[in-house]
Amino acid sequence: MVLKTEIVQQLRRIIKPGRILTKEADLVSYGYDASFGFYKPDVVLQVKNENEVSAVMKLANQLRIPVTPRGQASSLSGGPLPVKGGMVLDFSQWSKSLKIDSEDLVAVVSPGVITADLDDAAARYGLMYPPDPGSSHFSTIGGNLAENSGGPRCLKYGVTKDYVIGLKVVTPQGEVIRTGGRTVKNVTGYDLTKLIVGSEGTLGIITEATLRLLPRPLSTQTMMLTFDHFVDSGKTVTRILTSGILPAKVEMMDQASIRAVEAYQPQNLPVDAEAILLIELDGHPAAVADEAERIRSLAKAMAARSVKIAHSSEEARKLWKARKLVSPAIASKKPTKISEDATVPRSKIAEFCHRLQEIRNTYKIDLVVFGHVGDGNLHPNIICDKRNREEMKRVQKAIEEIFHAAIDLGGTLSGEHGIGTMKRAYMPWELSPVELDMMKRIKLAWDPNNILNPSKIFPAPDRSWCCRNEPESERQTRL
Ligand SMILES: Cc1cc2nc3c(=O)[nH]c(=O)nc-3n(C[C@H](O)[C@H](O)[C@H](O)COP(=O)(O)OP(=O)(O)OC[C@H]3O[C@@H](n4cnc5c(N)ncnc54)[C@H](O)[C@@H]3O)c2cc1C
């Protein structure tokens, strides 16, 4: 085993000492993300440029030290957790470079840029960056690209991968490569850009991204539909989406989410309703007004109790604030929040809502359901206490049933949060051995020494639980 001091000395030749963190308090604070797990790194490096990343990777590859990239650690699947210890590469100190080219309709950004800052910068040119994860005010472009993040607006505009046309990437061996380019069309060779996007920091480290921008819509309209029955809200979504109208956003909050928000920061939501749908239409003002009226009559025909149309941008902002408050509101109910994002085809939304109600009753769990229902991407969240072993057994069973239900209905384990540590045990439920093997061979080709973000995505034979920390013995290095 190589001695820690020797390695830190070598790191000091690459990175200034103030940006090499080894104190216990720092290491502990880098051991978390927004998911369930905790794994402490041996050292944290606050990298500031591509040369540093490349030199660190060369050293790590030579010494076989695990490296885990980290944006703002808002991952809900354990992506930036250093499961095998080693080094965490923190991008938060990297100076944020954000260049908009309004003629090419692209932005060129560094990995630590906050997603909402990019959209704000694009707005100054009458443009927009459509992907808008709920975490857009704190998550980074690097993390968004690595997770292929989605968000409310992705219903109409597509997900992160649809906006990435070029990358600069540092490989696990420390080489710097470019993928794609600056043109919308580019079919030269294999599409390595698409391979890196969504690879959860396991194939390469993104150091620069060229992203597509779109003209900002001329107007938007927000509506709130209220339902006495949860399943009716699911049926209404399917009805709207097959009516020829494509809203920019259709988000759902079930009764538990509504009540949690009202208990946390009252927003005047109907606490006796079983569900509400928040809808945003965008486009030409005349088309938007017409579509809002059509949705109003569709919703009434589908048993909506009421339909509210926001009459000002302030009213619309308040309605969307309610949706944004769901996560903090439910997190304040109990110490542990497990956030799932099983996704089903749109025709199965109502059936999935029904199955979730059954799971809640069978396992007597505190299940809160909200999310990007227009994409079939619901976020069943389980609020629990990880110290309560009996409760956690029920929670574990419920999670498995949720995944079974989603896959049974033709859906997927993850619509946007990624697999990370949380869902790797369930990969064989969705992928065949041949499909998994193909992915493993890709990982081996990029990272033969398995140093970049190890223990993510791929199932390990003895790991069948997601609701607990994996043992310390999984660590392979102590620097
Ligand atoms: C309240 C809340 C709401 C959320 N809403 C959404 C939502 O609507 N949609 C959604 O998709 N997600 C959502 N998320 C999850 C999370 O915000 C996203 O996954 C986000 O993309 C993570 O970004 P981050 O900067 O925090 O990355 P991190 O969590 O730090 O890292 C995520 C992954 O990216 C890798 N990574 C980070 N930077 C790089 C890089 N430069 N190169 C290579 N790999 C890198 C990490 O190793 C890790 O695997 C939400 C989370 C919270 C807490």
- Atom of ligand 1 at shortest range from CA of 151: 8
308-337 pLDDT, tens digit per residue, is 999 999 999 999 999 999 999 999 889 999
Atom of ligand 1 nearest to the CA of 453: 47
* pLDDT tens digits, 58-109: 999 999 999 999 999 999 999 999 999 999 999 999 989 999 999 999 999 9
Residues with CB under 6 A from ligand 1: 33-34, 68-76, 79-80, 91, 111, 133-135, 139-140, 142-144, 146-147, 149-151, 200-201, 205-206, 327, 416-417, 453
Instruction: Report which ligand 1 atom has the smallest distance to the Cα of 144.
Output: 21
CA of 71 to the centre of ligand 1 (A): 7
Closest protein CA for atom 13 of ligand 1: 133
User: Which residue minimizes the CA distance to atom 28 of ligand 1?
Assistant: 73
458 in Cβ contact with 436 (< 8 Å)? yes
CA–centroid distance, 112 to ligand 1, in Å, is 11
Taking the CA of residue 196 as reference, the ligand 1 atom at the shortest distance is: 43
Q: What is the pLDDT of residues 279-310, one digit of tens each?
A: 999 999 999 999 999 999 999 999 999 999 99
Neighbour count for residue 412 (Cβ, 10 Å): 17
Q: Which atom of ligand 1 is nearest to the CA of 149?
A: 11
How far CA 221 is from CA of 132, 240, 279, 306, 310, in Å, comes to 17, 16, 8, 17, 7
| Mean of pLDDT values over 254-261 | 95
Q: Would you say residue 402 has pLDDT above 60?
A: yes
Q: How confident is the model at residue 350 (pLDDT cuts 50, 70, 90)?
A: confident
* Residues 173/439/73/26 CA torsion (nearest 10 deg): -50
- Show the tokens assigned to 167: 């990358």
Model confidence, pTM: 0.94
Instruction: Classify residue 266 as exposed, middle or buried by CB count within 10 Å of its CB (0-12, 13-18, 19+).
Output: exposed
Residue nearest to atom 23 of ligand 1 (CA): 143
Among residues 147, 140, 98, the alpha carbon closest in space to that of 123 is found at: 98
Structure tokens at 175: 């080489």
- Alpha-carbon Rg for the chain in angstroms: 23
Do 380 and 367 form a contact (C-beta atoms < 8 A)?
A: yes
Summarised one tens digit per residue, pLDDT across range 175-194 is 999 999 999 999 999 999 99
Query: Residue 200 corresponds to which tokens in the numbers above?
Result: 């959860």
